[in-house]
Amino acid sequence: MEAQAPPHSPRLSDAQREWIKAGPKLPEALVLRKGSIDLTFLILDRDADGRVMDIEARMGMKGFVLRVQDPDDGAVYAAKICSAADYDGGRSERDEQRLANVLRQAGALFAAPIHSGRVVRFDGMPGDEVEFVCFVSDWIDGLTLEALCIQKPEMITGEFIVRAANQVFRAVHFLSHHRLKHDDLHWGNVIVRPPVPGLALTPAEENEYSLCLVDTGSLKDSLQPTGKSHDDHLSMVDILHSLYNAAWRERQLVASSPQFFDRFRMLLEALTDEDPLRHFPTPDLFVAALADLEKASRPDFAIKGEHSFSPFDGISAEHLADDQTLLDLFSQALPWFPSLLATKPVVLSGPRGCGKSMLFRYLSAPTQAKAMVAGAAQTVDSFGVYISCATHLQNNLVWIARKPGRAKELAGSIATYFQLVIAREFVRALGLVNRIPDARARFNLNDATLDQWISWVNAQFPTPIETPRLPRESRLMHFANDLERTAIKVHNTMLQQRSSEVILSDGFLGSITSKLVELNPAFSVYPVVFLLDDYTENRLHKEVQATVNRIVFERRSSHFFKVSCERMGFDAVDSEGVKIDSHREFDEMDAGQHAVEDCTTKDAERFLVALIDKRLARAGWKGRCETLLGSSGDFSNDINLANYIRSDGSRQGRHYFYFGTTHLARLWSGDIATTLQIVKDICIQGDVGPDTTKTVTQSVQHSSIVAISKAYRNRVKDLHPYGQQLSRILEAFGQFARTVLVNGTLNRKQNARRTYRIEMTLPAVDTFIDQLEKVNGAAADIARELLRRSVFNPLRESRGKEGPATRTIRLEMRNIYRPAFGLSLEKADEYLDVKTVEEFASMLIEPSKYLEGRTMSYRLGKNQDRDTRFMFGEEE
Amino acid sequence: MKDKQAVLRRVDFLQVEQQLPPVVPLESIKLEADVFICALGFEERCPAISARIALHSPSPSFALGLTAVYSSNREDNEHNREALTSNISKFCVRSGLLAADQPDLLSHELNQQLGALAPRSGRLHVIFDISTASGNLILSVMDALIKHSRTRPLDLTIAYSEPEEYLPTSAQYASDSESLVLTACRPGDESSVHEYGVAEVETNELYPGKSNENREEFILAVPAYRTERLSRCLQRLTDQPLADPDNFIFWILGSPPDPRRSFRLEMQRKVISSLLGEMSGHEQGAGAVGDALNETNSIEASTLHYQQILQVVIEQVDAQAGKNISVVHMGSKMQAVGMALALAVRSEVTVCHARPDRYNASLYSLGIGPVWGVRFEDLSQVVHNLGRIGTLELQAKIDQQGKNLR
- Cβ contact B40:B68 at 8 Å: yes
Asked if A299's CB is within 8 angstroms of B212's CB, the reply is: yes
Which chain B residue is nearest to residue A707, measuring alpha carbons? B281
Which chain B residue is nearest to residue A538, measuring alpha carbons? B236
* Backbone dihedral angles phi then psi of residue A799, each to the nearest 5 degrees: -70, 135
Which chain B residue is nearest to residue A265, measuring alpha carbons? B392
Alpha carbon distance, N-terminus to C-terminus of chain B: 20
For an interface test with A, give the residue of B192, B201, B212, B353 to mutate (most A CBs within 10 A): B212
Q: What does the DSSP 8-state code read for residue A187? A: G
Query: How close B401 comes to chain A (CA, Å)?
Result: 6
Asked if A255's CB is within 8 angstroms of B321's CB, the reply is: yes
* Backbone dihedral angles phi then psi of residue A237, each to the nearest 5 degrees: -60, -40
Asked if B107's CB is within 8 angstroms of A709's CB, the reply is: no
Give me the sheet containing A210-213, strands edge to edge. Answer: A143-144, A190-193, A210-213
pTM of the model as a whole: 0.88
Q: Is it the case that residue A176 has pLDDT exceeding 80?
A: yes
Amino acid A207: pLDDT: 85
Average pLDDT, chain B: 90
Q: What part of B 368-397 touches A (C-beta under 8 Å)?
A: 387, 390-394, 396
Q: What does the DSSP 8-state code read for residue A185? A: -
Amino acid A281: pLDDT: 80
| Three-state DSSP class for residue A442 | helix
| SS3 assignment for chain B | CCCCCEEEEECCHHHHHCCCCCCEEHHHCCCCCCEEEEEECCCCCCCHHHHHHHHHCCCCCEEEEEEEECCCCHHHHHCCHHHHHHHHHHHEEEEEEEECCCHHHHHHHHHHHHHCCCCCCCCEEEEEECCCCCHHHHHHHHHHHHHHCCCCCEEEEEEEECCCEECCCHHHHHHHHHHHHHHHCCCCCCCCCCEECCCEEEECCCCCCCCCCCCCEEEEEECCCCCHHHHHHHHHHCCCCCCCHHHCEEEEEEECCCHHHHHHHHHHHHHHHHHHHHHHCCCCCCCCCCCCCCCCCEEEEECCCHHHHHHHHHHHHHHCCCCEEEEEECCCHHHHHHHHHHHHCCCCCEEEEEECCEECHHHCEECCCCEEEEEECCHHHHHHHHHCCCCEEEEECCCCCCCCCC
B188 touches chain A (CB under 8 A): no
pLDDT band at B224 (very low <50, low <70, confident <90, very high): very high
ipTM of the prediction: 0.93
A chain contacts of residue B278, beta-carbon cutoff 8 Å: 711, 714
CA angle A800-A806-A811, nearest 5°? Answer: 60
B350 touches chain A (CB under 8 A): yes
- Cβ contact B244:B359 at 8 Å: no
In 3D space, the residue among A358, A365, A353 whose CA is nearest the CA of residue A680 turns out to be A353
B chain contacts of residue A497, beta-carbon cutoff 8 Å: 104, 108
- CA–CA separation, B382 and B146 (whole Å): 10
Amino acid A866: pLDDT: 40
Amino acid B286: pLDDT: 43
Assign residue B194 a region: left if phi > 0, alpha if psi is -120 to 50, beta otherwise?
left
CA angle A864-A867-A873, nearest 5°? Answer: 125
Amino acid A861: pLDDT: 44
Query: How close A835 comes to chain B (CA, Å)?
Result: 32
Average pLDDT on B293-310 reads 95
B chain contacts of residue A11, beta-carbon cutoff 8 Å: 405
Q: Is it the case that residue B67 has pLDDT exceeding 80?
A: yes
**Pairing assessment for the beta strands B124-129 and B35-40 based on DSSP bridges:** parallel
Amino acid A187: pLDDT: 94
Amino acid A875: pLDDT: 44
Query: How close A681 comes to chain B (CA, Å)?
Result: 6
- Cβ contact A636:A561 at 8 Å: no
- Cβ contact B268:B225 at 8 Å: yes
pLDDT band at A338 (very low <50, low <70, confident <90, very high): confident
- Cβ contact A78:A116 at 8 Å: no
Average pLDDT on A225-238 reads 85
Asked if B398's CB is within 8 angstroms of A321's CB, the reply is: no
Asked if A673's CB is within 8 angstroms of B205's CB, the reply is: no
Query: How close A496 comes to chain B (CA, Å)?
Result: 6
One-letter amino acid of A632: S
Give the C-alpha distances (Å, rounded to integers) separating A561 from A348, A570, B229.
11, 15, 36
**Pairing assessment for the beta strands A587-590 and A559-565 based on DSSP bridges:** unpaired
* Backbone dihedral angles phi then psi of residue A567, each to the nearest 5 degrees: -55, 135
Q: Is it the case that residue A309 has pLDDT exceeding 90?
A: no
A chain contacts of residue B221, beta-carbon cutoff 8 Å: none
Choose the closest CB to A229 out of B1, B8, B404.
Answer: B404
Amino acid A868: pLDDT: 46
- CA–CA separation, A674 and A671 (whole Å): 6
| SS3 assignment for A190-236 | EEEECCCCCCCCCHHHHCECEEEECCCCCCEECCCCCCCCCCHHHHH
* Backbone dihedral angles phi then psi of residue A346, each to the nearest 5 degrees: -140, 145
B147 touches chain A (CB under 8 A): no
CB pairs under 8 A between A and B: 227
Alpha carbon distance, N-terminus to C-terminus of chain A: 107
Q: Is it the case that residue A833 has pLDDT exceeding 70?
A: yes
Which chain B residue is nearest to residue A9, measuring alpha carbons? B402
- Cβ contact A235:A185 at 8 Å: yes
pLDDT band at B239 (very low <50, low <70, confident <90, very high): low
B chain contacts of residue A714, beta-carbon cutoff 8 Å: 278-279, 281
Which chain B residue is nearest to residue A85, measuring alpha carbons? B402
- Cβ contact B371:B341 at 8 Å: no
Choose the closest CB to B280 out of A229, A403, A707.
Answer: A707
Query: How close A74 comes to chain B (CA, Å)?
Result: 31
Asked if A11's CB is within 8 angstroms of B405's CB, the reply is: yes
Query: How close B8 comes to chain A (CA, Å)?
Result: 7
One-letter amino acid of A561: F
Which chain A residue is nearest to residue B241, measuring alpha carbons? A711
> A36, exposed or middle or buried, with CB in 10 Å at 0-12, 13-18, 19+?
exposed
Q: Is it the case that residue A319 has pLDDT exceeding 80?
A: no
Amino acid A278: pLDDT: 76
* Backbone dihedral angles phi then psi of residue B279, each to the nearest 5 degrees: -65, -35
Give the C-alpha distances (Å, rounded to integers) separating A686 from A541, A683, A703, A818.
43, 5, 10, 22
Amino acid A41: pLDDT: 96
pLDDT band at A351 (very low <50, low <70, confident <90, very high): confident
Rg of chain A over all Cα atoms, to the nearest angstrom: 36
pLDDT band at A320 (very low <50, low <70, confident <90, very high): low
Residue-wise pLDDT for A728-738, tens only, equals 999 999 999 99
More confident residue, A463 or A277: A463
Asked if B350's CB is within 8 angstroms of A222's CB, the reply is: no
Residues in chain B: 406
Asked if A711's CB is within 8 angstroms of B280's CB, the reply is: yes
Query: How close B27 comes to chain A (CA, Å)?
Result: 37
Element (H, E) at A165: helix A158-177
- Cβ contact B394:B8 at 8 Å: yes
B chain contacts of residue A10, beta-carbon cutoff 8 Å: 402, 405
What's the sign of the alpha-carbon dihedral A656, A661, A662, A664?
positive
Asked if A254's CB is within 8 angstroms of B1's CB, the reply is: no
B chain contacts of residue A395, beta-carbon cutoff 8 Å: 203, 205, 208-209, 211, 350
- CA–CA separation, B43 and A216 (whole Å): 68
* Backbone dihedral angles phi then psi of residue A468, each to the nearest 5 degrees: -65, 155
- Cβ contact B147:B111 at 8 Å: yes
Element (H, E) at A639: helix A638-644
Amino acid A112: pLDDT: 87
Choose the closest CB to A394 out of B206, B208, B235.
Answer: B208
E strand residue ranges, A514-636 = 528-533, 559-565, 587-590
- Cβ contact A708:A673 at 8 Å: no
> B283, exposed or middle or buried, with CB in 10 Å at 0-12, 13-18, 19+?
middle
Asked if B242's CB is within 8 angstroms of A711's CB, the reply is: yes
- CA–CA separation, A49 and A51 (whole Å): 6
Amino acid B196: pLDDT: 84
Asked if B322's CB is within 8 angstroms of A718's CB, the reply is: no
Amino acid B242: pLDDT: 56
CA angle B143-B145-B146, nearest 5°? Answer: 65
Bridge partners of residue A210, in order along the sequence? A193
B112 touches chain A (CB under 8 A): no
B186 touches chain A (CB under 8 A): no
Bridge partners of residue B157, in order along the sequence? B127, B375
Query: How close B20 comes to chain A (CA, Å)?
Result: 20
* Backbone dihedral angles phi then psi of residue A31, each to the nearest 5 degrees: -115, 120
Asked if A395's CB is within 8 angstroms of B205's CB, the reply is: yes
Asked if A708's CB is within 8 angstroms of B212's CB, the reply is: no
- CA–CA separation, A427 and A420 (whole Å): 10
> A404, exposed or middle or buried, with CB in 10 Å at 0-12, 13-18, 19+?
exposed
* Backbone dihedral angles phi then psi of residue A330, each to the nearest 5 degrees: -70, 135
Amino acid A218: pLDDT: 81
Q: Is it the case that residue A68 has pLDDT exceeding 90?
A: yes
Asked if B400's CB is within 8 angstroms of A227's CB, the reply is: yes
Residue A285: how many other CB atoms lie within 10 Å: 12
Q: What part of B 309-348 touches A (C-beta under 8 Å)?
A: 321-322, 324-325, 346-348
Asked if B6's CB is within 8 angstroms of A237's CB, the reply is: yes
Query: How close B103 comes to chain A (CA, Å)?
Result: 9
Amino acid A93: pLDDT: 65
B151 touches chain A (CB under 8 A): no
Q: What does the DSSP 8-state code read for residue A56? A: G
Residue-wise pLDDT for A3-51, tens only, equals 343 444 578 889 999 999 888 899 999 999 987 889 999 999 999 999 9
| SS3 assignment for A816-831 | HHHHHHCCCCCCCCCC
Give the C-alpha distances (Å, rounded to integers) separating B98 from A400, B37, B109, B358.
18, 9, 7, 20
What's the sign of the alpha-carbon dihedral B332, B335, B341, B342?
negative
Q: Is it the case that residue A530 has pLDDT exceeding 70?
A: yes
Asked if B324's CB is within 8 angstroms of A711's CB, the reply is: no
Q: Is it the case that residue A1 has pLDDT exceeding 50?
A: no
DSSP string, A252-287: HHHHH-HHHHHHHHHHHHHHTSS-GGGT-SSHHHHH
Amino acid B398: pLDDT: 59
Average pLDDT, chain A: 87
Bridge partners of residue A472, in order along the sequence? none
Residue A845: how many other CB atoms lie within 10 Å: 16
